[in-house]
Every structure is written in C-alpha cells, then in structure tokens.
Amino acid sequence: MSLHTNTPLQPPSDAMARTVTGGPIRGSYKIYSSPAGWPQLRVPFRKVDLSDPAEAPLQLYDASGPYTDPGYQVDLSKGLPPLREPWLAARGLEPDTAARLAGDGSHRGSTPVCPAPLTLRRGVAGKPLTQLEFARAGIVTEEMAYAAHRENLGRAEAARDAAERRADGEDFGAAIPTWVTPEFVRDEIACGRAILPANINHPELEPMLIGRNFLVKVNANIGNSAVSSGVAEEVEKLVWSTRWGADTVMDLSTGQDIHSIRSWIMRNSPVPIGTVPIYQALELVGGDPLKLDWPVFRDTLIEQAQQGVDYFTIHAGVRLAHVPLTANRVTGIVSRGGSIMARWCLAGHRENFLYTHFAEICEICRRYDVSLSLGDGLRPGSQADANDAAQFAELETLGELTRIAWDHGCQVMVEGPGHVPMHKIKANMDKQLAACGEAPFYTLGPLTTDVAPGYDHITSGIGAAMIGWFGTAMLCYVTPKEHLGLPNRDDVKTGVITYKIAAHAADLAKGHPAARVRDDALSRARFDFRWEDQFHLALDPDTAYAFHDETMPKAAHKQARFCSMCGPKFCSMKISQDLRDDVRAMEAAPCGDEAMAPVAGGLHVVGA
C-alpha cells in the first residue's frame, strides 16, 4: 500500500553498505522555532503551505529528526548532532568511567561499536538529575521547555475558538490546558502524571512528553532478527518509523551484536529508545531462563543505561503468586518477558528477582534518568483472558512499584494490554489510573477480536483509539504481520499510520484544543477540490497521491472540480457548491422577493 518515493540519502561513510531514507515528506518542509524566552532552543516542525491564499500555512508535529532536513548530511558513524550536550554539560554531572560500554559478553559478533563520540555521564547523589527530580525541585529544564513548545502545536491557530473546541470533547478527567507552559510540563512531571524520557547519555534526543494531558503518542517496535544484518538496515527501521510519526521506538533486538547494533541506533536516534533488558540478559546466559540471575541483569541494565537507552521495560510485576492465576487461561502468558520470569519463578519456586531487586533497579535508572516502563507480563493474549485475575493482580503490583520508583526519583509509566473486547477496555484505564496514581499508561492495542490475523493493526487500532480517548498516554503499534511473521518496511509504515490515526482520533475525542485544526484544514481543502492541499495535509501524502493517480493520473486532474468516484455529474460536493452559487444569486436578488426570504435569510456562504 505504501509508496517510497522519497529521496534516499547516501551516507558518506564507506562502512555503511546501505542508505537511510531522508528528505522532506511530500508537500511539507522542515522549520525550527524557538519558544518565547528560550532562544537557544530550536524545535522542529513540518510546515505545509496551502494553495489558497486565504488559508494559513499549517504546522505539523515532527518526530522525524534531522533526516527530513535537506540541510542535514547523514553520517551514521558520526551520529546525530548532540543538541542536549550544552544543557547536560551545565548540570554538574560526573563522568562515568565504568567501562561497560567498551563491550562485554553480548558483543560476540563482527559488528563494530558506533564510533560517534559520547561524553559519558552519570548522576551524583544529592543533586537533581532526573526530569522528575528537577520538576520536584521547581526547576524547568531545557527539555521541558522544548517539549512544551512541541505540544503547543496548532494552539495559536485554535486560540480564537479554543473554548468552544474544549467544550466539544469528553476527557474523562484529563485536564488538557489551552496553552502548555513549561511550568505546566514541570508540574505534570512532578506529580508523575507525565514523563519526559531522556537518558543523560542520549544527547541527540529531541525531547518529548508522554502523559494524558499531552498529545497521545505512538511507539513503534524494531529489532534485528536472525536473518537481518547490516547496521544501516537497523538504523533505517528507526528512521523509517519516525518519518511516519513514531514518537518513540523500542529496540527489541535479540541475538548477537545486540550491544553494538544498539550503539548505532542510539547515536542516530532523535526519539527516545526503549528496550527490554531481559532479552539481552537471556542471551548472556545462553537462552535458558532458569540461568538468569540478578548480577547478569544488573550489569545489562548498567550497560544499556550507559549507551543512552531512554526507557526500560521491566517485568517486575510478574510475582510468583500470580503465576498460578494464569493456569486456566486460553493463551497462558503471551508476553516474552512475562513468560521468562514466570518460568524462572516457578522452576525455583522463588520470587521474581526483578521484584525483590526493584529498589536497586531504580537506583541504576535514577543515575542515568532512564524511565521505567513497568511491563505487563501477564497481559491477556486473547479475548477470553481479558481483565482476568492474573492481569489485575499484576496491575496492583505495578501500582506498588510505581510508588517505589517515584520514591527513588525515577520517571515511570505502566504498560497495558493486549487483547480486550471493547466493553472491557475502559475498566483497564480506570483501574490503571486508580492503582498506579495516574502514572502514564502505555498499551499494546488492545486487539478487540482474535479472528483476524493479517489485519491486527486494525483489530488493535480500534482498541487503541478507544483507550487513547479514555486516557492512555502512548499507544504501542501493532503491524499487519502480528502473530504471523516479521514486519517488513510496508508493514511498519502501515502500523505507524494506523496508530497515528488512533492517537489523533483520541486527541479529537478528548477535546484537545488544537487537534481539529488539521482535520478542518484538510476538510476545507477537500470541499474546495484543492486536491494537492488535501494530500499534503494527509498523514500519508504519498499514498493519497498514488491512490488518486490510479483512477485520475493526469496532472490536470489535480485541479478537477470533481473526483473519480462519482464523476462530474454525480459529485455531491460539486452539487453542493452549485447550491451555494444559487444562494449567492438569491442574496443578490431584490429584497422584495419574499418567497425566498425564509431560506436565503438563514444562509451564510462559507468564505463569502
């Protein structure tokens, strides 16, 4: 379905066998703008100019990083510009000399570590280090101001009728402000209702927010597999998914070279990167869950934290006592991490070491400001298992762990299901808010039926839109290949676009004050037959163009005042516009024409 008409950028390094996708997204160009009072910040947006002079250009949120900036020369071995470096340098952090970054047991393959320079840092005790600690101390960081500016997208345009737009939504207790100040961001982070995932060793990051009073975000999963190979190929997955709007990316790689491949991803990622460290730990013990232990896991955490990973999924909620609750399930335990830890617990009849060592995990995460993403290892894998005792027992534990993380100064979000029929979705949100003190919820779908393998981006997009509306802060995408195979490039794009739809539908329904600005601009373009404006405002301009070309390929058709579905005679919008012409004629007629008055009197032609 998706088209790849974009200019590939050739990385200059000889070491790179392949290219990553770059250049502007069709119909838009990159701009940078600085929030008032923060001239040193350059916050990226995409800008779409429209063909009608009466229509103001539209700015769009931009997660794609420098790759869509034509002025940026890709060199994967140099990495992205470390835009946070001056901010971090001023914070009195100490150098981290523990040398895990040099490689370890997991680095068995032939891939070299990314040579991009990195000033390795760690936090010190007694001084604010994490965004949460800064927020609690009343300090607005550069990251907060940067992210606030991103969140204000469209709010100036919407300001005129913001009150009306707000009243239009149902926010289920969210409190989305008319204007996002850096202080509002600070307050949301301070109370744990939002996180700003930003490892101090990821200076290339463009800061963003995850919280239910901000735009709903989307995560895409990438990861190398047995058959994949090159470093550029892995980085391209990152670049490709963020190009279409992924706000964060999880690297779920397993296998050899996991450490060195991640180094390339980190140094070239403009978005927060999440990992599931238990995967690498399992590699280190030869793949046998029963051989896992705390020291191996601890060292893995430190290694990944030093690399700059922004959030860790930790399956500390899978407690020994929960495992029997899964025994009568139709689909047992479907989370990889969850099944690994359940087996570990049960085989030795012992408590999950991630749970017993959770305070130490927090200490490591705090030192680098790695956010915690509390994994739902017991999430349901089928409609039959949704909202069962195992799932909700774990959720209670995740609430307990949330508070421990907060006590350690760590930012934390909570992962959620999974497979859930529509009528059971809201209970998930309500219970999560109650159990976890409003920490951001981060869900996988949920899939609203099990009967459509091959279309699970859709079965889950339905659930994602709904739970996003109810308050979920970030939606983890599902691709059409879910349950069946490894997603290819088209699948990744389809998954991301589907989830951008879900997230945006959620923003609209919540009454986000600026969400409808884009819908309205596109709808006006549609009604005015400004075809190219319509395409440029679309989530996927390439596909919109290609579909239109299929039936009306000529350039002149892009000016046609009808479309191929109905033809000129049956075009409702054409007829509807003729209607307006009728009205114009009537309004120009003498007032004495009383028969017309009741109709014409009520008509106000849009744009007239």
Q: Write out the binding residues for a copy of itself, residues 261-280 only, by CB under 8 A.
A: 279
**CB 21 within 8 Å of CB 67:** yes
**Separation CA 211–CA 221 (nearest Å):** 20
CB nearer to a copy of itself: pick between 10 and 523? 523
Residue with tokens 């002025």: 71
Strand positions, DSSP E, 24-79? 29-33, 43-48, 58-61
Residue 483 marked ligand-binding: yes
Select the residue interacting with a copy of itself from 320, 393, 404, 560 (CB under 8 A): 320
Residue 250 marked ligand-binding: yes
Q: Taking the CB of residue 593, how many other CB atoms lie within 10 A of it?
A: 10
CB nearer to a copy of itself: pick between 118 and 425? 425
Q: Taking the CB of residue 576, how many other CB atoms lie within 10 A of it?
A: 10
Site string for a copy of itself, 159-188 (x = CB under 8 A): ---------xxx------------------
Structure tokens given for 312: 């860790």
**Choices 21-29, 112-120, 190-198, 452-460 (CB under 8 A): range interacting with a copy of itself:** 452-460
Select the residue interacting with a copy of itself from 506, 532, 533, 562 (CB under 8 A): 506
Residue 279 marked ligand-binding: yes
555 near a copy of itself, judged by CB under 8 A = no
459 near a copy of itself, judged by CB under 8 A = yes
- How many residues touch a copy of itself under the rule CB under 8 A: the total is 130
449 near a copy of itself, judged by CB under 8 A = yes
CB nearer to a copy of itself: pick between 358 and 535? 535
**Separation CA 8–CA 497 (nearest Å):** 20
Q: Strand pairing of 441-444 and 474-476?
A: parallel
Handedness of CA 596, 597, 599, 604 (dihedral sign): positive
Task: Identify the helix (H) or strand (E) that includes residue 94.
Answer: strand 94-95
**Least CB distance from residue 585 to a copy of itself, whole Å?**
10
CB nearer to a copy of itself: pick between 201 and 339? 339
465 near a copy of itself, judged by CB under 8 A = yes
Per the omega criterion (within 30 degrees of 0), is the bond before 567 cis? no
Enumerate the H helices of 369-488 as residue ranges.
389-407, 425-435, 456-470
259 near a copy of itself, judged by CB under 8 A = no
Task: List, in sequence order, every residue forming a beta bridge with 218; answer none if it has no partner.
Answer: 475
Site string for a copy of itself, 473-492 (x = CB under 8 A): -------xx-xxxx-x----
**Least CB distance from residue 331 to a copy of itself, whole Å?**
5
Residue 419 marked ligand-binding: yes
356's CB contacts (< 8 A; 6+ apart) are none
Footprint on residues 207-246 left by a copy of itself (CB under 8 A): 225-226
**Least CB distance from residue 100 to a copy of itself, whole Å?**
23
- Would you put residue 154 in left (φ > 0), alpha (ψ -120 to 50) or beta? left
**CB 51 within 8 Å of CB 532:** yes
Footprint on residues 40-59 left by a copy of itself (CB under 8 A): none
Select the residue interacting with a copy of itself from 30, 186, 193, 329 (CB under 8 A): 329
Select the residue interacting with a copy of itself from 98, 324, 351, 559 (CB under 8 A): 324
451 near a copy of itself, judged by CB under 8 A = yes
**CB 93 within 8 Å of CB 123:** yes
Residue 335 marked ligand-binding: yes
What's the angle, vertex CA 524, arms to CA 518 and CA 528, rounded to 5? 145
* List of long-range contacts for 71-76, beta carbons under 8 Å, 24+ apart: 72/22, 73/9, 73/12, 74/9, 74/10, 74/11, 74/12, 74/20, 74/22, 75/11, 75/12, 75/13, 76/11, 76/13, 76/15, 76/16, 76/20, 76/114, 76/231, 76/232, 76/235, 76/264, 76/267, 76/268
CB nearer to a copy of itself: pick between 90 and 167? 167
Footprint on residues 82-141 left by a copy of itself (CB under 8 A): none
CB nearer to a copy of itself: pick between 236 and 456? 456
CB nearer to a copy of itself: pick between 89 and 486? 486
Residue with tokens 């397993």: 254
CB nearer to a copy of itself: pick between 32 and 455? 455
Footprint on residues 333-392 left by a copy of itself (CB under 8 A): 333-336, 338-340, 342-343, 346-347, 349, 381-384
**CB 533 within 8 Å of CB 52:** yes
**Least CB distance from residue 242 to a copy of itself, whole Å?**
18
Residue 164 marked ligand-binding: no
CB nearer to a copy of itself: pick between 11 and 461? 461
**Choices 33-41, 114-122, 229-237, 325-333 (CB under 8 A): range interacting with a copy of itself:** 325-333
287 near a copy of itself, judged by CB under 8 A = yes
